[in-house]
Structure 1
Amino acid sequence: MPELPNELDGLSESIEVIDKQIVELLAQRAELTTKVGEYKSKSGSPIYVAEAEASIITSRKSEAKRQGVSPVLIEDLMRRIMRESYHTKSTEFLCTNPDIKKIVVV
């Protein structure tokens, strides 16, 4: 296998650094969404709010367009990231207000 030119090595190293930053940012986001889940659980707020999700996706797609990134890619990524957040929040926290004593299921 031929040796890679130094420029290509540098580019590959830069990509690796960015990939690690993406993982770090996802970890930070997960910490924040955990806090959101705790707050929503205590306040009895719903974990999933369709309008908020739609607004976030629209905003991120617009930002992607401005940055020259595929809005389709960003929408896919955001939906996957949010789905993971909802899963974490819904399995770790109550979705009801703890002050409510009785719930009627119809």
Structure 2
Amino acid sequence: MIRTCRELGRLPESADLKLWKWAHMLGFRGHFSTKSRRYSVTLGALRDARRAWRTEQAHAHAGLPEPDTDTALVVGHWDYLGSGYSPGASLLAASVWHRRELERQFTADGGC
């Protein structure tokens, strides 16, 4: 594709496109996600299509009926699971805090 962009860029009729200048970007003249509306479908549309396809595949695999688009799932039951860190996460957080304190002390004492 790069070679083709360079070859087309040498032609007088495509000189305005400056393909030779942007050959390293495969002729898009910018980041692909910022140009998708102009050149193709948007990334949001691709994500929506992928999400719909995966949902459909998961329903088919689990043998579930087709979801009704006119109804909404309402969750009316909540359980309190706790607050704060789990024991393992608490140990990890304390370790990170201790290491940062040692680094602060080292810097305050004239370390590197």
Q: Which has the higher helix share?
A: 1
Identify the TM-score tier after normalising by the shorter chain: under 0.3
Relative contact order, CA 8 A, sep 6+: which one is greater?
A: 1
What TM-score comes out, normalization by structure 2 length? 0.26
What TM-score comes out, normalization by structure 1 length? 0.27
